[in-house]
Structure 1
Amino acid sequence: MTPEPSALPDDLLAPDAVRDPDAAAAVLRAHDPVHWSAAHRAWLVSRYDDVVAAFRNPALSSDRVRPVMSSSDAPSDDPTQRILGLMSEWMVVTDPPAHTRLRRLAGAAFRQQQIAAMEDRIQALVDELVDAFVADGGADLVAGVAYPLPATVIAEMLGAPAADRDRFRAWSDELALVAFGAGGDARADRHERALRGLEEMVGYFRQLVALRRREPGDDMLSAMLGDDQDGLSDDELVGMCALLLFAGHETTTNAIANAIRLLTADPALRDRVRDDPALVNPAVEEALRLVGPIKVLVRWVVEDHELRGRTIRRGERVYLLLNGANRDPERFPRPDAVDLARERATHVAFGRGIHACIGAQLARIETRIAVGTLLRRLPGLRVAGEPAYLPTIASRAQESLPVVHDGSAVGSRP
């Protein structure tokens, strides 16, 4: 039982909560699992059963950008308003029936892309990055591997030239300043910078959409064109490309970095996973559960309802604490331990229901290949220092991941 706290965690951007988000979630889960946060003016829901039920609850809407826009007094040309306008049509912030149509068309593209068939290409990219990381005497695994890999994969899937990879990464970074609720950022121009990046990105994707309408290929963007009657409009295609880039980049970068930190903290566990390829997949699933890339998902309340004796009212927000749910002792025995025999995929790292992450399979494949390759090719891999997580509400992101390894024994490609 979590000890009775002197005060319940209320601010997810407080230094203690950023440094150890799981400890904060544990206190809330044990003592106030439906907690009204004055700091965020939102309900913090932290138990597994409540989080899973919330994904199916029609009183909780994913259409959470437009209400923020409409409640703001800022003029329409305000940078923040313009960014929100660009994001408001994203599939992840819509409800049925619009969401149903967008997801069906995007899902068809993912199936056509045959994500599982991409493993050889992803393995080749990982090996190239590890080669360069070792050759450069690299010390930061985020900059060297975890960060560039997913942007490269998404760029290739969308049919963008390899020369544009760095632009994709920069756009994703600028958007992350806004989309993940960054705190403690004294840069007053962060929204203006993000807007410039987004507008550049939108222009780029419009050109790419026009090209694929004229010259369809075997890429994901061509697959999303659909037919004339029910295909995506140019605006919808641009929004889908932006979403796939951002979600696919940020989430997978965090998943890889967090998994490496977790699995290398115990040398015996690290070596066990390294020596048995069959254990890489369950190890990644445990990493997703314990240190998943997303801590919080936001829902907008559209209908009054009760939860554990609390009245959740229309117009309020609910923060679903995925990290709290994924360590709930009522759902997971020994919840804070890495258990490679644990039942797979019952965690909620990628959400659940109609809004479950459509790119979860791709993120899993990239993370599994990256983690397995790094453990195999960098013997004795270990992290130097404590984690320095970025101060965001939603994302569990490490700005850097300094590592050391037995460089004289770098493994070769398979």
Structure 2
Amino acid sequence: MDAVSVASDLLGPTATEDPYALFAELREREPVCWSEAHRAWLVTRYADVAAAFQNKRLSSDRVRPMLAARATEGVPAAADEILSMMSEWMVLSDPPAHTRLRRLAAAAFRGQRIAALEGRIGELVDGFLDGFVAGGHRDLIEHVAYPLPATVIAEMLGAPPADRDRFRRWSGELGLVAFGAGGDARPDRHERALGGLREMFEYFTELAEIRRAAPTGDMLSALLGTEGPDGAALRPDELVGMCSLLLFAGHETTTNSIANGVLTLLKHPDQLARLRGHPELIPSAVEELLRIEGPIKTLVRWVVEDHELGGRTIRNGERVYLLISSANRDPDRFADPERLDLGRAPNPHIAFGRGVHACIGAQLARIEMRVALDRILGRLPELALTEDQLTWNCSLASRSLAALPVTHRAPR
């Protein structure tokens, strides 16, 4: 198989189930490779990906150029409306707009505020594990890994936890578009995603009005009360967009991080035993699990100026896919990168990105992973995979399981 064939197969069954052999071949044979299938450059080596995060000629503001290009492509109207509604999202903007939005959002993500959530996160994990055991359930995603971050972000935003099923539906429908689903995606995915996005925007518009009249200590109230250096606060559309982004990004990736981490441990019983015997390794274990099986495979950038990248000339108006999952297994940066080492140090993985667009919720995600792993391993003795076939969701952007069926010997 040549490099071009590999690059054309990122949504194929092999790449969906286990993309790492394909990434390794690309790193070795053509680390910056044009994919005709995806109409994008694929960047696979750590040094190139890390440098790209700092490269101002690669833009995160890829929605507006896509809208302009789509005018002649006959794309469904729903797709254009989705992009228009997402165009103000912080992760899809560049400085100075991004700088302003991130500064305003940072007030809701102050380290002290996030660290104070650890006790509550522990209570939530214990509650979900109680229900998981008492109900005789097997899918750790459905009953623990999903409801934990969904409930955390709901409480942070001041939304009733009972609404998390609505959040899941909205996020699932938007994910069919935002995460680059494969050819088996529903033909009506744009209409479904648009419907979910409209409902989400309406929901947060109403919730913002409630908090504006009666502020509390939640994140939404903090966002409403924050002003930038120029004295300007978030506009109503920016506020609703920020809440929608935090909801969408704030639980989807953490769900996948927890599930992928547990799966990786179960597939490496020596390291699982090591962690059970030395729970003080949990912080470094979280970093290694994020490195070797993180929740995000690909981040997209838009070329705004011709330049060289990895010895190839990339041109204004082209797309670049930064393959984080490949970079985090680059032997030029990590010794024995395919080996799971829960004590690995240093561990400069880029699972949360780098630079001005580094994930603003990284601290929260780490806390949730640490607490979840500690409780799951402590309360589910002899945790093991079932014989059920695992299914990875077909996506360019995310690395996620459809379900994680397990067995254990915890008493009901």
TM-score range, shorter chain: over 0.9
Q: Any gaps of 5 or more consecutive residues in structure 1? A: none
Residue from 289, 294, 313 that aligns with 2:315: 313
Q: Residues 13-412 of structure 1 correspond to what in structure 2 (within 5 A)?
A: 13-73=11-71, 78-111=77-110, 114-225=113-224, 226-227=226-227, 229-384=231-386, 385-408=388-411
Distance 1:55 1:27 in 2: 23
SS at match of 2:166: helix
Question: 1:344 offset after TM fit, Å?
Answer: 4.5
SS at match of 1:195: helix
AA in 1 matched with 2:403:
S
Of the structure 1 ranges 226-235 and 281-290, higher mean CA displacement relative to structure 2 is found in 226-235
Deviations 1:146-177 (A, max 9, x none): 11111110000001122222212221111111
Q: 8 Å contact 2:104–2:227 — kept in the other structure?
A: no
Question: 1:201 offset after TM fit, Å?
Answer: 0.9
SS at match of 1:376: helix
AA in 2 matched with 1:104:
R
AA in 2 matched with 1:390:
N
Deviations 1:254-293 (A, max 9, x none): 0000000001112232122123221111111111000000
CA RMSD of aligned residues (A): 1.9
Deviations 1:199-250 (A, max 9, x none): 1111110011111111111111111121493110110010000110111111
Distance 1:332 1:214 in 2: 52
TM score, norm. by length of structure 1 = 0.94
Of the structure 1 ranges 178-187 and 39-48, higher mean CA displacement relative to structure 2 is found in 178-187
Distance 1:371 1:50, change over 3 A: same
Q: 8 Å contact 2:303–2:314 — kept in the other structure?
A: yes
Distance 1:50 1:163, change over 3 A: same
Q: Any gaps of 5 or more consecutive residues in structure 2? A: none
Q: 8 Å contact 2:285–2:343 — kept in the other structure?
A: no
Q: 8 Å contact 2:180–2:395 — kept in the other structure?
A: yes
Question: 1:9 offset after TM fit, Å?
Answer: 3.6
AA in 2 matched with 1:117:
A
SS at match of 1:114: helix
Question: 1:67 offset after TM fit, Å?
Answer: 1.1
Of the structure 1 ranges 76-85 and 172-181, higher mean CA displacement relative to structure 2 is found in 76-85
Distance 2:370 2:353 in 1: 19
Distance 1:76 1:181, change over 3 A: closer
Q: 8 Å contact 2:353–2:359 — kept in the other structure?
A: yes
Distance 1:65 1:201 in 2: 19
Distance 1:299 1:45 in 2: 11
Residue correspondences, number: 407
Distance 1:103 1:268, change over 3 A: same
Q: 8 Å contact 2:145–2:258 — kept in the other structure?
A: yes
Identity %: 60
